[in-house]
Amino acid sequence: MTDFLSRRAQAIQPSATFALSTKAKELKARGEPILDLSLGEPDLPTPAPVVEAAHRALDEGHFGYTPTAGVMPLREAIARVYTERLGVEVDPSMTMATQGGKQALYQALATVTDAGDKVAILQPYWVSYLEQAHALDLEPVIVPCPAENRFRPDLDALKAALDDGVKAVILNSPSNPTGAAYDREEMARLADLILQSGAVLISDEIYEDIVYGPEGHVSPLHVRPELRERCCVVTGLSKGFAMTGWRIGFSIAPTWWTQAMIRLQGHTTSHIAATCQQTAITALGRRDLVEGLVEVFRRRRKRVVPQARTLPGTSLFDPEGAFYLFLDVKELIAGSSAMDDSKALAEWLLERHHLAVVPGEAFGASGHLRLSFAASDAVLDEAFQRLDEAFAQL
């Protein structure tokens, strides 16, 4: 029956993050003592004032269709908040609400590329960039961000990709999975290369709230505001507000681009739930709520980084943003006759040690494991104990 499937559909791989967390949930439901550090989602509840806003939206009867991009008060709220956060004038016509950041990314990519076009993807990359490129019949051009370079892109490789005619570059700072967050100088160097090229930039800033350094989040628009003519910023409420399941994302892009994305969305999902739009208006007015959540991640990072550093045969990049540890396990694997790669290691950890983590292969970076520290202290302590015992057996 798979003969019926298009080549495009056959090329799309399942989301490794969702596949793993689904498996972990199934094992847990069967009574296995699973610890799940696979999925990147805050373990904390959505802040109460935001939940109350959702109740209010239901009571007020926001049940019907809305304009595709979202109701005007929502677009105005996005414009107000991101004019301040990005430091460039954002008009409501440059904004739209999407089913999570993921839909915004897909629409941004779909509206600036045609089948066969090249898209630059920085590696290690988040799982969905490559598969979205496959879904759109694009040719991914991989730009390495070596660990020796603190997961910053090889600028010569990026320049070569741009010279080779890539249509779009996808950037993700703070990065999932590495936790790298570029500073102003690094961002400016990158932005300049894009400005000198004929490419557009899709800047995935979904982790904009979760940055640990004193400089805070750096958007390419902070350092090169002139990029706004061809930059689509993708963000949303999933991470900073602990609202992953609500599916509320935003894009901020020039009007020409936004209009095309609205046309596309008008034929696919139409718009995000009317009640979620009302809820998002409240959340956008309460950025103070984010700080409490970020403080929790800040504290956890301080706890888990030293714990991870004691694991035998591994090394760790200290995450500058987001909530992942990207553990280098190459030495551990090289010293073990039982393990061929990090995929096998992750499978073994799940089956034998009941610990779900994502292998680096999912991000184009074999030899690594990604551990989400968006979990409770108790779960994290136990997870590190299991890792310690497991690695000692290899």
Q: Which residues bind ligand PMP (CB under 6 A)?
A: 40, 100-102, 126, 172, 176, 204, 206, 236, 238, 244, 249
Q: Which residues contact 284 (CB under 8 A, 6 or more apart)?
A: 74, 77, 78, 80, 81
Nearest approach, Cβ of residue 115 and ligand GLU (Å): 24
Q: Choose the binding region for ligand GLU from 14-22, 111-119, 209-217, 337-345 (rule: CB under 6 A).
A: 14-22
256 scored as a contact of ligand GLU (CB under 6 A): no
Give the nearest distance from C-beta 237 to ligand PMP in angstroms: 8
The verdict on 39 binding ligand GLU (CB under 6 A) reads: yes
Pick from 15, 269, 336, 366 the residue near ligand GLU by CB under 6 A: 15
CA atoms in the 13 A half-sphere facing the CB of 335: 11
**Tokens 């689509």 sit at which residue?**
232
Among ligand GLU, ligand PMP, none, residue 209 binds (CB under 5-8 Å by kind): none
H-only helix segments in the chain: 7-11, 16-29, 48-59, 72-86, 100-110, 127-135, 155-163, 184-195, 220-223, 255-266, 274-284, 288-309, 330-334, 342-353, 377-392
Looking at the Cβ atoms of 22 and 83, the one nearer to ligand GLU is 22
**Residue 18 binds: one of ligand GLU, ligand PMP, none (C-beta under 5 to 8 A by kind):** ligand GLU
Residue 124 touching ligand GLU (CB under 6 A): no
CB of 172 to ligand PMP, least distance (A): 5
Does 258 bind ligand GLU (CB under 6 A)? Our answer is no
Q: Are strands 168-172 and 200-204 parallel, antiparallel or unpaired?
A: parallel
- Euclidean distance between CA atoms 109 and 9, whole angstroms: 17
User: To 10 degrees, the CA torsion angle through 339, 342, 343, 346?
Assistant: 90
* Between 252 and 333, CB nearer to ligand PMP: 252
Residue 230's binding partner among ligand GLU, ligand PMP, none (Cβ under 5 to 8 angstroms by kind) is: none
Contact in structure between 162 and 197 (CB atoms under 8 Å): yes
Residue nearest to ligand GLU (CB): 40
Of these partners, ligand GLU, ligand PMP, none, which one is at the site of residue 249 (CB under 5 to 8 Å by kind)? ligand PMP
- For the CB of residue 239, give the shortest distance to ligand GLU in the complex, in Å: 8
Chosen from ligand GLU, ligand PMP, none, partner binding at 15 (C-beta under 5 to 8 Å by type) = ligand GLU
- Under the binding rule (CB under 6 A), the answer on residue 22 touching ligand GLU is no
Does position 18 interact with ligand GLU (CB under 6 A)? The reply is yes
Tell me the closest approach of the beta carbon of residue 206 to ligand PMP, in angstroms: 4
Mapped onto helix, strand or coil, the DSSP state of residue 122 is strand
What gap in Å lies between CA 106 and CA 109, rounded to an integer? 5
Question: Per DSSP, what are the bridge partners of residue 250?
Answer: 97, 235
Query: Which residue, 172 or 342, has its beta carbon nearer to ligand PMP?
Result: 172
Give whichever of 39 and 311 is closer to ligand GLU, judged by the CB atom: 39
Spatial distance between the Cα atoms of 373 and 375, rounded to a whole number of angstroms: 5
Query: What's the Cα-to-Cα distance from 330 to each of 255, 316, 336, 341, rounded to whole Å?
Result: 46, 11, 10, 8
Separation in Å, CA 3 to CA 13, 28, 390? 17, 35, 43
Q: Among residues 102 and 118, whose Cβ is nearest to ligand PMP?
A: 102
Residues that bind ligand GLU (CB under 6 A): 15, 17-18, 39-41, 127-128, 176
